[in-house]
Amino acid sequence: MELKTCSKCEEIKPMNNYRVYTPKPKYNKKPYRYNMCNSCVAKRQTKNIQIRKDCDPEFKEKHNNYYRRRAKTEKVLIYMREQNKKYYDDLPDWKIINLIKQGSLKGVDSKDIPQELIEIKRKQLKLHRYVKDQQCK
């Protein structure tokens, strides 16, 4: 049995305790095993998820800086914000119908969903987003 040393906890463990990464075929690379064992990878993922859930200001700042660097000009950034706001403020009916059909009304035809239900779902989504934004501020 082959053994490998974890780069994080520095314990020697069997090879089946390491995840296999398989690159896409277009890259013509061989599959390889991660340098960290499964338990260390799981701990890292749990930590990252917790940070995101707590809306850590450092994480948000790093994330925002990444997208700021990618934006070519301030005009592009302003345009993107306006488009996102339009999309989230005025969700199209087809998007809301798809969300309704994914939930409790599976198998129902789109034409059978009343406009009142679409408007109620739209208000519910806006309220949910508002609450989520307030929690992260």
- In a domain, residue 107? The reply is yes
- In a domain, residue 27? The reply is yes
pTM of the model: 0.39
- In a domain, residue 49? The reply is no
- In a domain, residue 3? The reply is yes
Q: DSSP letters of 123-136?
A: HHHHHHHHHHHHHH
- In a domain, residue 52? The reply is no
- pLDDT tens, residue by residue, 9-67: 889 988 888 888 887 777 777 877 778 888 888 888 878 767 776 766 776 677 667 66
Please give the DSSP secondary-structure letter assigned to residue 106.
T
| Count of the separate structural domains present in the chain | 2
- In a domain, residue 51? The reply is no
Q: How far apart are CA 11 and CA 73, in angstroms?
A: 48
Q: Which domain does 131 fall in, by range?
A: 91-137
Give the H or E element holding residue 51.
helix 38-53
- In a domain, residue 75? The reply is no
User: Strand 32-37 and strand 3-5: pairing?
Assistant: unpaired
- In a domain, residue 72? The reply is no
CA 105 to chain centroid: 26
